[in-house]
Amino acid sequence: MSEAFRIVTATDFSPHARSAVHRAALLAGQLHTRLDVVTALPLRSIHTLRDLLGLQEDEVLAQLHEVRRLQLEILQTDLSRDYACEVGIDIRRGRAHQQILQHARDTQAGLVVIGAQGEHGPLRSFLGGTSQKLLRLVDRPLLCVRRMPRGPYRSVLVATDFSGSSVAALRLAAKLAPDASLHVLHVLEPLYEMKLVGSGVSQEALRRYREQCDAAARQALRDLLAQAAVAKATPENSEVIAGDPTHTIVRHASELRADLIVLGRAGQSILSSLFLPSAVDPVLADVDADVLVWQGQSAAEDAAQSGT
């Protein structure tokens, strides 16, 4: 890796942000690349302090900026020492998700790392606040970190829907976790099977339909592995399983003791169901793994058109 694959993380100095910052620094050290730590001064907080303290807005902003600068400089020193990586800091004013995304775009960062808020698992936190907005709008890989890293990733599950970002997601997983076991999973969701059942087709026709879908998925998986050309991504470590995507991914991750789940997204994909509240709660709320989402450019553009 090189400077071209810069990593950006964000902190508000909360415990969940601390976990993300340390994972980001660990990855930066592994990849011999630069890490930028961004913090945002939200306008709402500035206005609240202005009213409470009876100060001018620029005075409040100056004081907040100085406090954050001192905190970031201490963090910068600690991370550089502990993870042997170059660390930059940036203090921005405005809404957190907008400032994080803008910094990532300004620096052409290859990865954005954020913390999972609260104590209910990484995917539930995506459904609110900064994480949700970043998930919708980010146009580059987004890693959501649940807990403090205990070391490099050891077991990675890549869940693929064969969308346009699948090859890139698989390659990135191998780069972020070069020493981990790597498993590739496609969940064969019977989207049209229920319609066929309702239309009164025979059991033999249903059997042939399932076999055709399974064969097509297995061929697509072989094509994906060949195109990605990742040494550890082999047919022996790859599976096609029929079922509900959410439950199947969670069960498979648990069986593998995966500490990283990788999901690709490009337009309509598996994420459409994974991040619905009805699917996330209560199943994905208890996933004990970090989650890396690769959102393709087209998906980000579609989300951006719907607003921030």
Q: Is the dihedral of CA 292, 249, 135, 301 positive or negative?
A: positive
Range of the domain at 108: 1-115
Q: Is residue 156 located within the same domain as residue 297?
A: yes
pLDDT of 210 reads 84
Of 70, 96, 115, which closes a domain? 115
Q: Is residue 156 located within the same domain as residue 260?
A: yes
Q: Poorest-confidence range of 6-15, 71-80, 177-186, 286-295?
A: 286-295
Q: Is residue 91 located within the same domain as residue 157?
A: no
Look at residue 278 and tell me whether its pLDDT is greater than 50. Answer: no
pLDDT of 74 reads 98
Of 92, 115, 138, which closes a domain? 115
Look at residue 306 and tell me whether its pLDDT is greater than 50. Answer: no
CA distance 143 to 149: 13
Q: Is residue 192 located within the same domain as residue 290?
A: yes
Instruction: Determine the average pLDDT of the residues in 100-113.
Output: 95
Q: Kindly state the tokens that stand for 284.
A: 């994905």
pLDDT of 51 reads 63
Instruction: Determine the average pLDDT of the residues in 180-205.
Output: 78
* 138 within some domain: no
Residue 184 has what DSSP assignment?
E
Residue 34 has what DSSP assignment?
-
Q: Poorest-confidence range of 134-138, 202-206, 215-219, 273-277?
A: 273-277
* 144 within some domain: no
Instruction: Determine the average pLDDT of the residues in 88-104.
Output: 93
Q: How many other CB atoms sit within 10 Å of the CB of residue 218? A: 16
Q: What is the pTM of this model?
A: 0.83
* 136 within some domain: no
Q: Is residue 100 located within the same domain as residue 178?
A: no
Task: Identify which has the larger pLDDT, 56 or 163.
Answer: 163
Q: Is residue 193 located within the same domain as residue 251?
A: yes
pLDDT in tens, 113-154: 998 764 334 344 333 467 777 877 888 999 989 889 999 999
CA distance 180 to 176: 9
Task: Identify which has the larger pLDDT, 190 or 67.
Answer: 67
Q: Which residue is associated with the tokens 């606040």? A: 129
Sheet strands (E) in the chain? 7-10, 35-41, 87-93, 111-115, 142-145, 155-159, 181-188, 238-242, 260-265, 290-295
* 247 within some domain: yes
Q: How many other CB atoms sit within 10 Å of the CB of residue 42? A: 15
Residue 262 sits in a domain whose CATH number is: 3.40.50.620
CA distance 186 to 122: 21
For residue 201, what pLDDT band results from cuts at 50, 70 and 90? confident
Q: Is residue 83 located within the same domain as residue 10?
A: yes
Phi, psi of 304 (to 5 degrees): -60, -35
Phi, psi of 106 (to 5 degrees): -60, -35
Q: Which residue is associated with the tokens 């077991």? A: 155
Look at residue 198 and tell me whether its pLDDT is greater than 90. Answer: no
Q: Is residue 93 located within the same domain as residue 167?
A: no
* 147 within some domain: no
* 275 within some domain: yes
Instruction: Determine the average pLDDT of the residues in 54-69.
Output: 80
* 52 within some domain: yes
For residue 25, what pLDDT band results from cuts at 50, 70 and 90? very high
Q: Is residue 169 located within the same domain as residue 248?
A: yes
Q: Is residue 110 located within the same domain as residue 159?
A: no
- Please state the length of the chain: 308
Q: Is residue 280 located within the same domain as residue 231?
A: yes
CA distance 265 to 115: 20
Of 91, 115, 139, which closes a domain? 115
Q: Is residue 223 located within the same domain as residue 159?
A: yes
CB 13 within 8 A of CB 70: no
C-alpha R_g of the chain: 21
Question: Which amino acid type is present at position 83?
Answer: Y
- Into how many domains does the chain fold? 2
* 145 within some domain: no
pLDDT of 185 reads 95
Q: Is 119 helix (H, G, I), strand (E, B) or coil?
A: coil
CA distance 214 to 232: 23
